[in-house]
Amino acid sequence: MLIPHKKDNGEIYYPSEPFTGLYFSELLKNSLNYGYKIEIIGGFKFERGVGIFNEFVNKIYEKRLQDKLEGNNALQFTNKLKLNSLYGRMGMRNIENKTVIVNKDKAE
C-alpha cells in the first residue's frame, strides 16, 4: 500500500483494484518496486526557468545584510524568511505556461 487514492466523498484509501489519478512521477517509479503495475495515460513536463528571481533575491539579500549590520533583527529575520520562502519556486519560468495534450506513445 503505497499510492493513496481519494474517493468521491473525500476519503483516502489505498486501493488493491485498478484506479486512475494524477501522481508525482517519483512516487510511481518507487511504486514499481512494490509490485504496482502502472499504465501512464499522460503527464506534464516541467522545465527549469533561468534567473527569474535573481533581481529579487539580490535586492532582499542586500536589505538583509544592511539590517544585520544595523542590528535590526526583526527586519533581518523578515528578509531571511522572504528568501527562504522562494525554496521550490526557482524552477518556475517567466513565460506563459503551455499545456500540450499528447498521445500515449509521445508521452512515453
pLDDT digits (tens, 9 = 90+) for 30-39: 889 888 888 9
The 10s digit of each residue's pLDDT in 20-32 is: 888 888 888 888 9
pTM of the model: 0.41
Least confident of 11-15, 52-56, 66-70, 92-96: 92-96
* Per-residue model confidence (pLDDT) at position 83: 87
* Per-residue model confidence (pLDDT) at position 87: 64
Closest of 19, 37, 17 to residue 28, by C-alpha? 37
* Per-residue model confidence (pLDDT) at position 63: 96
* Beta strands in the chain, from DSSP E residues, in sequence order: 5-6, 12-13
